[in-house]
Amino acid sequence: MELSLLVIFWYGILHAFGPDHLTAIADFSIGKDQRKTLLITILFAIGHGLSLFIFAKVLQSAHISDEILAYGDIISAAVIIAMGIYLLFMVVTERIQLRKHIHEGKEHIHIWFGKSHDHDATLAKSSSFTMGLLMGAGGVRGMLITLGAVGSGNVDFGMVGAFTAGVMLIFVSFGFVLLYFNKHFLGSITNVRRAFATAGVVSLVVGTNILVG
């Protein structure tokens, strides 16, 4: 792998450690099983990389001031805050449900939002991809600085692939941490609601900090 791609890959790793990204992953992955968690984290990373690629291409052909670029951070913050408000609303209105059952000799726990039990995870998957797209706007300035440091600043699919791979490595690793948490700490509805309430508060704090930072 070329040195420039290694730099982009490392930048993706560092970028993924942002509290806004990890908070978003946690918001979508709490209470999910292994398959759903991996899909959510991978789709978030792909959406994030695709968004940065699109924005970077646009910025290459158009001069946009730092003041306008700063709106990317506002978008990221707004998404995180909205997610926090949504989770807290679900907790307060008791719309987070838990059900246990035995299947093939193993206990399974299902956690879902709403009054009825729905196994369809399509909404969560599409939402994580969409959130990745929206939050990509907040990383455009950092991406452009990195591109300027490693070469001509031209964005290609190789660079985006390296960045996405770095982001995905951290997101998937964090997903496994959440899977352990889901398995060992979410055995009761009380703990589930506490977990989502905590995620909601953290989302509000992280989003607000981005706005005032």
pLDDT in tens, 111-160: 766 655 554 555 566 677 777 777 776 666 666 656 555 555 566 777 77
pLDDT digits (tens, 9 = 90+) for 164-204: 888 889 989 998 998 888 888 887 888 888 988 999 999 99
User: What pLDDT shows up at residue 137?
Assistant: 65
Q: Return the number of other C-beta atoms located less than 10 Å from residue 117's C-beta.
A: 9
Find, among 38, 47, 7, 62, the residue nearest to 164 by Cα: 47
Find out whether 13 and 170 touch, Cβ atoms under 8 Å: yes
The three-state secondary structure class of 95 is coil
d(CA 195, CA 30): 8
Find out whether 29 and 40 touch, Cβ atoms under 8 Å: yes
| Residue with more model confidence, 203 or 211 | 203
User: What pLDDT shows up at residue 201?
Assistant: 95
Q: Which residue has the tokens 């300035």?
A: 141
Beta bridge partners of 96: 113
**pTM to 2 decimals?**
0.76
User: What pLDDT shows up at residue 107?
Assistant: 60
User: What pLDDT shows up at residue 35?
Assistant: 83
User: What pLDDT shows up at residue 108?
Assistant: 60
User: What pLDDT shows up at residue 212?
Assistant: 85
The residues near 64 (Cβ < 8 Å, ≥ 6 apart) are none
| Residue with more model confidence, 165 or 52 | 165
Surface-to-core class of residue 83, CB atoms within 10 Å of its CB (0-12 exposed, 13-18 middle, 19+ buried) = buried
d(CA 144, CA 94): 44
| Residue with more model confidence, 1 or 11 | 11
pLDDT digits (tens, 9 = 90+) for 82-120: 989 998 998 898 887 777 666 666 666 667 666 555 545
Is the pLDDT assigned to residue 68 strictly greater than 70? no
Find out whether 87 and 196 touch, Cβ atoms under 8 Å: yes
Domains held by the chain: number: 1
Find out whether 57 and 155 touch, Cβ atoms under 8 Å: yes
- Give the mean pLDDT of the chain: 77
| Residue 78 belongs to domain spanning | 3-212
